[in-house]
Amino acid sequence: MAGIKGTGSRVEEPTLVPLLDHTSSNVDLVSKTSDQQDLDLSFRHRFLIESKKLWHIVGPAIFSRIASYSMFVITQAFAGHLGDLELAAISIATSVIVGFDFGLLLGMASALETLCGQAYGAKNYRMLGVYLQRSWIVLFLCCILLLPLYIFASPVLKLLGQPADISELSGKVSMSLIPLHFSLCFQFPLQRFLQSQLKTYVIAWVSLGALVVHSVMSWLVVYKLQLGLVGTVVTLNFSWWLIVIGLFCFSVFGGCPETWGGFSMEAFTGLWSFVKLSAASGVMLCLENWYYRILIVMTGNLENAKIAVDALSICMSINGFELMIPLGFFAGTGVRVANELGAGNGKGARFATIVAVTTSAVIGLFFWLLIMLFHNELALIFTNSEPVLDAVSKLSLLLAFTILLNSIQPVLSGVAVGSGWQSYVAYINLGCYYLIGVPMGLAMGWLFHLGVMGIWAGMIFGGTAFQTVVLAIITSRCDWEKEAQRASMHIKKWAVVH
């Protein structure tokens, strides 16, 4: 990253004075020291102010993601008490079917982080409500197009090699999850709409309420009412729609008086341009989201893969929970950069980027050190099997470096979202992940006979690390003043009724 400039007051060079003029020399020395101290104090002050703004978004974003993730975990846990088949069915339905759906719609909704964030920074408040409604329309149509994935889940899973009994029950679960599927097209845009206005506390409180309701209802459905697997799925649907209703009521009924002006026919204009930006955002995040799923599939094709898959699944579970932190920074960075660019403050966007990357990297280093120190005890939460514990211990080095890289890469992706570079980064992700990372993982796993460690190492250092370096170079060489001007042009363009 380029060095950080001062606050605008340039530190002057000391004036040359005669050697015998001790008074003047001392005055200049004191002046220079005082200027440097002011500069240092100013930098620390700015860093603290920016950190406060960043954590105002990041904290609730992390909490809401953990709450959403926990709902699926709770559902799987209660399904596990019904039987092994039920646990396998709900796990596959949520991880494969909903997982594919989740990544695409979440990515498409992130287009609002660019548009709403920049419009809010430019104080063009009226357009935020219009963008929200356009996103609802585009994502709802996308949900309709994705319906066959839920309807024909059973044959799809059989084609992927899943046993017939699991595929059949997973298909029924997937059909029952269609209400949750449609909740995503409303929930994700609402979250980004509120994040862009820094109304993040609402998202956190609504997520907490839904998590509590979900936990209580799951217990009642399984143990008291004994409604079985269908009951647990209905509970999950209800909880996710509860989040939608909570966020919608706050946004529409007085919570956002400046940015919500009511339903408007203007939302149906300029949809094609909105589709293109949403699609680029969706592809960008999907390519990242599917990458580590491919890792598990590739590992499953190794000889004697059971221990390897168990160990890798444990590592991915640990990585999944920790990933909620950098994903929170992804959201926070996107909003902060978009707000500053929308306000025409290129230097502010650059400084927000530096603060976000630095903070997230420090947190990543902490978890890297934690895993390196306790690598032998990592898997005790999940299993007592000695072979699996040994395998996880061996993989812990790769897990530590994955977490370290993931503490930086999502933040840089957040910069891309805030700046509107989604289509550009989608090509970078495609090249780094699938043209470099996956082939390198295949080569190290099979050609060099390094097994799961080779596959994972190839995909980390060939894909994730390379992509992180490319994004870091692009970000460090960015002309932020030009980006601010470009954001101003985009705001005017998107505000025009097509």
What confidence tens digit (pLDDT) does each residue in 17-49 have? 333 344 444 444 344 444 554 455 588 888 999
> Among 203, 234, 268, where does a domain finish?
268
pLDDT of 494: 62
Are residue 254 and residue 297 in the same domain, yes or no? no
- Which residues are CB-contacts of 187 (< 8 A; sequence separation ≥ 6)? 240, 243, 244, 247
Evaluate whether residue 88 is within a structural domain: yes
Residue with tokens 């097509």, as numbered in its chain? 498
Which of residues 81 and 142 earns the better pLDDT score?
Answer: 142
pLDDT tens for residues 52-70?
999 998 999 899 888 888 8
Tell me the whole-structure pTM to 2 decimals: 0.79
Q: Which of 90-99, 246-255, 289-298 has the lowest mean pLDDT?
A: 289-298
> How many whole angstroms separate alpha carbon 271 and alpha carbon 108?
13
CA separation, residue 457 to residues 269, 318, 323, 403, 447 (Å)? 47, 17, 18, 13, 14
Tell whether 438 is covered by a domain. yes
What average pLDDT does the chain have?
Answer: 81
- The reply to whether 241 and 318 lie within a common domain is no
Residue bearing tokens 């955002």: 281
248 lies in the same domain as 306:
no
Domain stop point among 268, 298, 315? 268
Which one has a higher pLDDT value, 465 or 30? 465
* Contact status, residue 2 vs residue 351, Cβ threshold 8 Å: no
Domain contains 210? yes
Residue by residue, DSSP assigns 180-205 as HHHHHHHHHHHHHHHHHTT-HHHHHH
Q: Are 280 and 422 in contact (CB under 8 A)?
A: yes
- Length of the chain equals 498
Lowest model confidence (mean pLDDT) among 52-61, 240-249, 419-428:
419-428
Is residue 5 over pLDDT 70?
Answer: no
Tell me which residue of 296, 327, 316, 273 sits closest to 402, measured CA to CA: 316
Query: Could you identify the residue written with the tokens 């946004």?
Result: 251
**409 against 97, higher pLDDT:** 409
More confident residue, 134 or 295: 134
How far apart are the C-alpha atoms of 495 and 489, rounded to whole Å? Answer: 10
Mean pLDDT of 361-389: 85
Are residues 168 and 91 located together in one domain of the fold?
Answer: yes
- Between CA 469 and CA 486 the distance in angstroms is 25
Residue-level pLDDT at 296? 65
Same domain for 206 and 142: yes
Per-residue confidence (pLDDT) for residue 163, from 0 to 100: 73
Structure tokens belonging to residue 193: 């709409």
pLDDT above 90 covers what percent of the chain? Answer: 24
Tens digit of each residue's pLDDT (9 = 90 or more) over 305-355? 667 767 777 787 788 788 889 988 988 999 899 999 988 889 899 999 999
> What count of Cα atoms within 13 Å lies in the side-chain half-sphere of residue 22?
0
Task: Find the domain containing 207 and state its range.
Answer: 46-268
pLDDT of residue 301: 60
Q: CA-to-CA distance for 312 and 295, rounded, in angstroms? A: 9
pLDDT at 109 over 50: yes
pLDDT one-digit tens code per residue, 251-302: 999 889 999 988 888 888 878 878 887 888 788 777 777 776 677 666 656 6
On whether residue 32 sits in a domain, the answer given is no
201/313 same-domain check: no
Residue 279, in any domain of the structure: no
pLDDT (0 to 100) of residue 7: 37
With beta carbons less than 8 A apart as the criterion, state whether 491 and 122 touch: yes
The answer to which of 83-92, 211-220, 455-464 has the lowest mean pLDDT is: 83-92
Rounded Cα gap, residues 123 and 127, in angstroms: 9
200 and 140 within one domain: yes
Joined tokens for residue 153: 């889940």
Alpha-carbon distance 61 to 202, whole Å? 11
In a domain, 339, yes or no: yes
pLDDT for 188 beyond 60 = yes
Single out the residue of 334, 298, 315, 331 nearest to residue 434, CA to CA.
298
pLDDT on residue 17: 36
Number of folded domains that form the chain: 2
In a domain, 300, yes or no: yes
**Mean pLDDT along residues 144-156:** 89
Domain co-membership, 110 together with 187 = yes
Instruction: Identify residue 270 by its one-letter amino acid code.
Output: G
| pLDDT confidence of residue 144 | 94
Is it the case that residue 129 has pLDDT exceeding 50?
Answer: yes
Name 257's Cβ contacts closer than 8 Å, sequence gap at least 6.
none
Same domain? For 253 and 400 the reply is: no
Is 278 part of a structural domain of the chain? Answer: no
- With a pLDDT cut of 70, the percent of the chain lying above it is 87
Same domain assignment for residues 419 and 486? yes
Q: Within 13 A of 51's CA, how many CA atoms are on the CB side?
A: 9
Q: Determine the angle formed by the axes of helices 409-419 and 386-406, rounding to 10 degrees.
A: 40
**Residue 299 and residue 248 share a domain:** no
Q: Using pLDDT thresholds of 50, 70 and 90, give the confidence band for residue 190.
A: very high
Is 415 found in the same domain as 367? yes
Report the largest interatomic distance among the alpha carbons of the chain, rounded to a whole angstrom.
Answer: 95
